[in-house]
A and B are shown apart, each in its own frame.
Chain A
Amino acid sequence: MKFLVSIILTALLAFALGLYLPWWSIAIASFAVAVFIHLKPGFSFLSGLIALFLLWGTMAWARSAANQDILANKMSVLVLKTENSLLLVLVTALIGALIGGLAALSGSLLRSVMKSNN
């Protein structure tokens, strides 16, 4: 349950911060949620990873679908050297996931370090 809440909160906070702050604010969101919602570091990592994978993946996919993949087809050739819009969505989701997961892991570790110091 806490795991699920953590995923949802991370995604929501990352989305909200993204409206005002640069792209790396997803790290702040994942980090903060992991500090406040206690999970084992491994689960925090997974929570951040899944939250951002879903958030970035869904947003990219939805925008591309509404665009009938016109831009994603061109950009995938430019960035990935192959015309595959879905692969570009996947790469986007993975980048978000990697940063989200690592930031959440850091948050969770910080919490446990502070706790053991108390």
Chain B
Amino acid sequence: MVRVLLLVLSSILTIVLIYILGSTKLAPVALGKLLSPQEGIWQNAEAINQTYNEDIRFPELKGKVDVYYDERLVPHIMAEEENDAYFVQGYIHAKFRLWQMEFQTHAAAGRISEIIGDRAISYDRNQRRKGLVFGAEQMLKSIESDPEVLAACDAYTAGVNSYISSLSSSELPIEYKLLGYQPEKWNNLKTALFIKAMTNDLAGYDHDFEYTNALRVLGEEKFNLLFPAIPDSLSPIIAKGTPFARPDTTYMPPANADSVYFHSTDSLWFTDEFKPDPANGSNNWVVAGSKTQSGKPILANDPHLNLSFPSIWFEIQISTPNYNSYGVSFPGIPAVVIGFNENIAFGFTNAGRDVKDYYKIKFKDETRSEYWFENAWKPANQRVEVIKIKGKADILDTVSYTVFGPVIYDESNRDKLNTEGAYALRWVAHDPSNALRMWLLLNRAKNYDDYSAAVKYLNVPGQNVAFADRSGDIAMWAQANFPLRWKGQGQFLMPGTDSSYMWHGYIPQQENPHAHNPVEGFVGSANQRPVDSTYPYFIPGSYDVYRGITLNKALAEMQNITVDDMKKLQNNNFNVFASQALPILLMNIETGRLDSKDKEYLDILSHWNFYNDPEEKGPVCFNTWWDSLQAVVFDDDLNRSPLPVIRPERFVLLEGLLRDSIYRFVDNINTPEVESLSTMVTSAFMRASTVLKKIESEGKLEWAKSKNTTIYHLLRDGALPFAKAGIMNGGGYGILNATQHTHGPSWRMVVHMTTPVAAEVVYPGGQSGNPGSPYYDNFVNTWAEGKYYTAWIMKPGDANDSRVKWHLHCRP
């Protein structure tokens, strides 16, 4: 009897233990499953000397494909058919980056709550409300109506799915094991969603709500002073003085704009919590043979994005009978995205143009099924979004679609500040788009005509596309569908009760800013406003000012340029903003008010060479002083309202000081006396000094220590051991080497248009997405030191080259 009792007891104990260790119901992780050597994470501990040799039959292939991996695990795909190459590219993307591909497209589709639970509901809802899935569906229609693009996407999708079907549960990427879910099948909609995710990152930034608030708080005169359209110091992409064609039609604001738009008194209470990072940007430039030592053009590109593991980029070579291209690809879409082939090179920077506006919608009743438009109630298309939540019941959210686009904000999606209106979003990202065709054509392009025909397919996100070819042509197109607006249109929230505030179509493509073999012998972009004030269109946006100044000045001065010069320029740490601002600050400081510690910091600043090098203390002292000055100057004006208002960009204050030393904002409106610039600068310095003492006591006065460059895993705080922190490098915001705390050059490439084409490349990551692989982060140190790898452009017939480490043999 005792034995029976014991048997029951020990059996129950065993089963309960298995249940606890196998599920996340009682513990945060299923430790038994996770640590099982045959099923769990130990399976992801790749042997250091692991082989990537494989021999696989793929019935989907039409011809032979051979993939040769070099020692950096870069695959060189040699295919007899172009679509076979995309099939294998899909397979390889999935093999090394499956979790990331799916996670990023889930994020675009607002499906993160499915994976991590209810803390992502608000994020998911906003993604749905922005209409990202709707935009992807529009894009899918365009893909499906273009047989060539469709065939490439179908092949790519089949390749991804071939890998997914071959996966056993023990081989799942580690993130699936940690979060306890399974990959689903890939499809072309996911490819479109990936492009929409990039579009949201690159063309999803606006400050219409904040501007509207700021206009109300400040009044028109002060607003225009603080938020000018064109900086004095602008050094545009298209050289100043280049003539522009006059448009046939000039659009004027509607008659009521002065009362209902520019001087609206509506009360607003909005913030968008999920804004893309305004620092998303990049550098690219091309120099003509006339300026290089070799007599051949050089193209350089470094896109600045959030630095993450796994990297957004995957390096690859694709060789087909039609072309042989090399560069980086996005896991999620076919072809090379930034790179070169045997004839041309192409690179991208973000255009930063505003392509996103809001219209105030008047609904008939709370069902939001009809809205007032052109003197009638018009039915809205309603789309029910189902947000699935891990471990909880689904949430339904009905989104009304108007002639403008989806209603992003209404009473069921109000932020914490609670507004009363409903606003529809008009965004180029919702238009049909065949942008993928641009990349297919760029991979095959042989000359300027091919390139300029290819870029026309890019409607969004707006990009400055740099070009160089072996025959000596260089070019740049600032390309996308950019709304045709009257001056001031779309800067603030607009009335949506009739069509008078709608866009007038797009700026004609031929009139997008461009340069082809400019007389200067170079053309570069660094996210600045592309043109000076003589451009005949209103082009609001979020532009950088200072990188463009450094870049254009350097390129204008340089002669006999070599590839090494271009690498140095990409890693240049010169802080042109500080070089303009610091002398004014130093000139105005009242040293009599400072104590000895203050003077130590002042001494650091007066001896600083304006380079944001890793060991310099000047950058930390300068940034702290400047931030403090901005607060001293603007807070009294902008803090008058509890509403969210955007801060003026730093060029505004600097140019104000340069133009006129008694810049009107200097006076603190909360005090009776009129403050002088010296008083303000000195007060700001003394405030900064207090902050600097704290920074120094933490040992973070040196720039690299203060900046603490960190590459996070996509799961951020949920996977901190997978991150790499404390990377000691220089650079910063507004500097060509744009490395900030967790944002910066995500790929550096310098292409020399010799015969054959040669390239130097690096990115902060590694080819494998597996945190347990030696190839997860093996490029990071090279990148941090400003060094590069020489790209090996493999030729058919190089199969026995010593640079081949592994061979993936694919046959139909």
Q: B4, B37, B174: which contacts A92 (Cβ < 8 A)?
A: B37
Q: Are B38 and A99 in contact (CB under 8 A)?
A: no
Residues of A contacting B52 in the complex (Cβ-Cβ under 8 angstroms): none
Q: A18, A56, A60, A102: which contacts B17 (Cβ < 8 A)?
A: A102
Is A23 positioned at the interface, with any CB of B under 8 Å from its CB?
A: yes
State the CA gap A74–B722 with chains docked (Å). 7
Q: A59, A73, A113: which contacts B38 (Cβ < 8 A)?
A: A59
Is B786 positioned at the interface, with any CB of A under 8 Å from its CB?
A: no
Would you give the shortest CB distance from A17 to chain B, in whole angstroms? 9
B257-274 near A? 1/0 per residue, CB < 8 Å: 000000000000000000
Q: Are B721 and A67 in contact (CB under 8 A)?
A: no
Q: Which of B16-51 contact A (CB under 8 A)?
A: 17-18, 21-22, 29, 31-49
A67 in contact with B47 given A19-B38, A23-B36, A59-B42 (CB within 8 Å): yes
State the CA gap A78–B3 with chains docked (Å). 42
Residues of B contacting A77 in the complex (Cβ-Cβ under 8 angstroms): 720-721
Q: Are A92 and B33 in contact (CB under 8 A)?
A: no
A18 in contact with B36 given A23-B22, A74-B771 (CB within 8 Å): yes
Residue of B nearest to A81 (CB): B721
Residue of A nearest to B15 (CB): A27
Is B719 positioned at the interface, with any CB of A under 8 Å from its CB?
A: yes
A79 in contact with B32 given A95-B21, A113-B4 (CB within 8 Å): no
Q: A66, A95, A106: which contacts B32 (Cβ < 8 A)?
A: A95
A78 in contact with B721 given A18-B38, A63-B42 (CB within 8 Å): yes
Residues of A contacting B45 in the complex (Cβ-Cβ under 8 angstroms): 63-64, 66-67, 70-72
Would you give the shortest CB distance from A47 to chain B, in whole angstroms? 14
Q: Are B38 and A23 in contact (CB under 8 A)?
A: yes
Q: Which of A89-118 contact B (CB under 8 A)?
A: 91-92, 95-96, 98-99, 102-103, 105-106, 109-110, 112-113, 116
State the CA gap A41–B46 with chains docked (Å). 39
Q: Are B42 and A22 in contact (CB under 8 A)?
A: no
Would you give the shortest CB distance from A55 to chain B, in whole angstroms? 8
Would you give the shortest CB distance from B25 to chain A, in whole angstroms? 15
Interface residue count on the B side (C-beta < 8 Å)? 43
Residue of A nearest to B771 (CB): A74
Residues of A contacting B18 in the complex (Cβ-Cβ under 8 angstroms): 24, 27, 99
Residue of A nearest to B4 (CB): A113
Q: Are A67 and B17 in contact (CB under 8 A)?
A: no
Is B11 positioned at the interface, with any CB of A under 8 Å from its CB?
A: yes
Q: Are B14 and A92 in contact (CB under 8 A)?
A: no
Query: Among the interface residues B13, B720, B773, which one has the most CB atoms of the partner chain A within 10 A?
Result: B13
Is A75 positioned at the interface, with any CB of B under 8 Å from its CB?
A: yes
Q: Are A109 and B6 in contact (CB under 8 A)?
A: yes
Residues of B contacting A41 in the complex (Cβ-Cβ under 8 angstroms): 6
Is B10 positioned at the interface, with any CB of A under 8 Å from its CB?
A: yes
Would you give the shortest CB distance from B611 to chain A, in whole angstroms? 35
Is B252 positioned at the interface, with any CB of A under 8 Å from its CB?
A: no
Query: Among the interface residues A68, A96, A102, A110, which one has the most CB atoms of the partner chain B within 10 A?
Result: A102
Is B432 positioned at the interface, with any CB of A under 8 Å from its CB?
A: no
State the CA gap A63–B43 with chains docked (Å). 8
Residues of A contacting B: mostly: helix
Query: Among the interface residues B13, B44, B45, which one has the most CB atoms of the partner chain A within 10 A?
Result: B45
Residues of B contacting A31 in the complex (Cβ-Cβ under 8 angstroms): 14
State the CA gap A19–B3 with chains docked (Å). 33
Residues of A contacting B43 in the complex (Cβ-Cβ under 8 angstroms): 63
Q: B33, B722, B774: which contacts A22 (Cβ < 8 A)?
A: B33
Interface residue count on the A side (C-beta < 8 Å)? 43
Query: Among the interface residues B6, B721, B776, which one has the most CB atoms of the partner chain A within 10 A?
Result: B721
Q: Are B772 and A70 in contact (CB under 8 A)?
A: yes
Would you give the shortest CB distance from A19 to chain B, in whole angstroms? 7
Would you give the shortest CB distance from B271 to chain A, in whole angstroms? 33
Q: Are B37 and A63 in contact (CB under 8 A)?
A: yes
Q: Which of A8-58 contact B (CB under 8 A)?
A: 15, 18-19, 22-24, 27, 31, 41, 55-56
Q: Are B37 and A27 in contact (CB under 8 A)?
A: no
Residues of A contacting B37 in the complex (Cβ-Cβ under 8 angstroms): 55-56, 59-60, 63, 92
Residue of B nearest to A55 (CB): B37
State the CA gap A41–B42 with chains docked (Å). 32
State the CA gap A73–B776 with chains docked (Å). 14
Q: Are A75 and B47 in contact (CB under 8 A)?
A: no
Q: B10, B44, B48: which contacts A109 (Cβ < 8 A)?
A: B10
A23 in contact with B39 given A70-B774, A79-B31 (CB within 8 Å): yes
Residues of B contacting A103 in the complex (Cβ-Cβ under 8 angstroms): 14
Would you give the shortest CB distance from B272 to chain A, in whole angstroms? 33
Would you give the shortest CB distance from B49 to chain A, in whole angstroms? 8
Q: A71, A73, A106, A112: which contacts B41 (Cβ < 8 A)?
A: A71
Q: B10, B21, B33, B41: which contacts A75 (Cβ < 8 A)?
A: B41
Q: Are B42 and A113 in contact (CB under 8 A)?
A: no
Is B417 positioned at the interface, with any CB of A under 8 Å from its CB?
A: no
A27 in contact with B721 given A59-B37, A66-B45, A106-B7 (CB within 8 Å): no
State the CA gap A117–B176 with chains docked (Å). 48
State the CA gap A105–B46 with chains docked (Å). 35
State the CA gap A59–B85 with chains docked (Å). 38
Q: Which of B283-310 contact A (CB under 8 A)?
A: none
Would you give the shortest CB distance from A90 to chain B, in whole angstroms? 11
Q: Are A67 and B772 in contact (CB under 8 A)?
A: yes
Residues of B contacting A78 in the complex (Cβ-Cβ under 8 angstroms): 178, 719-721
Q: Are A98 and B17 in contact (CB under 8 A)?
A: yes
Q: A15, A23, A64, A102: which contacts B40 (Cβ < 8 A)?
A: A23
Residues of B contacting A92 in the complex (Cβ-Cβ under 8 angstroms): 35-37, 42
Q: Are A109 and B3 in contact (CB under 8 A)?
A: yes
Residues of B contacting A56 in the complex (Cβ-Cβ under 8 angstroms): 35-37
State the CA gap A70–B43 with chains docked (Å). 13
Q: Are B7 and A110 in contact (CB under 8 A)?
A: yes
Residues of B contacting A98 in the complex (Cβ-Cβ under 8 angstroms): 17
State the CA gap A104–B720 with chains docked (Å). 39
State the CA gap A19–B170 with chains docked (Å). 10
Extra contacts besides A22-B33, A71-B174 (18): CB < 8 Å:
A18-B36, A22-B22, A24-B18, A59-B37, A59-B38, A60-B42, A63-B45, A64-B42, A67-B47, A68-B774, A79-B35, A88-B35, A91-B31, A92-B35, A95-B21, A102-B10, A106-B14, A112-B3
Closest 5 A/B residue pairs (Cβ) = A71-B772, A23-B36, A59-B37, A67-B45, A109-B7
A-B contact pairs, 22 of them (CB 8 A): A15-B38, A23-B38, A23-B39, A23-B40, A56-B37, A60-B37, A60-B42, A66-B49, A68-B48, A70-B772, A71-B41, A72-B45, A92-B35, A92-B36, A95-B32, A102-B10, A102-B13, A102-B14, A103-B14, A109-B6, A110-B7, A112-B3
Which residues of A approach B to under 8 Å, CB–CB? 15, 18-19, 22-24, 27, 31, 41, 55-56, 59-60, 63-64, 66-68, 70-75, 77-79, 88, 91-92, 95-96, 98-99, 102-103, 105-106, 109-110, 112-113, 116
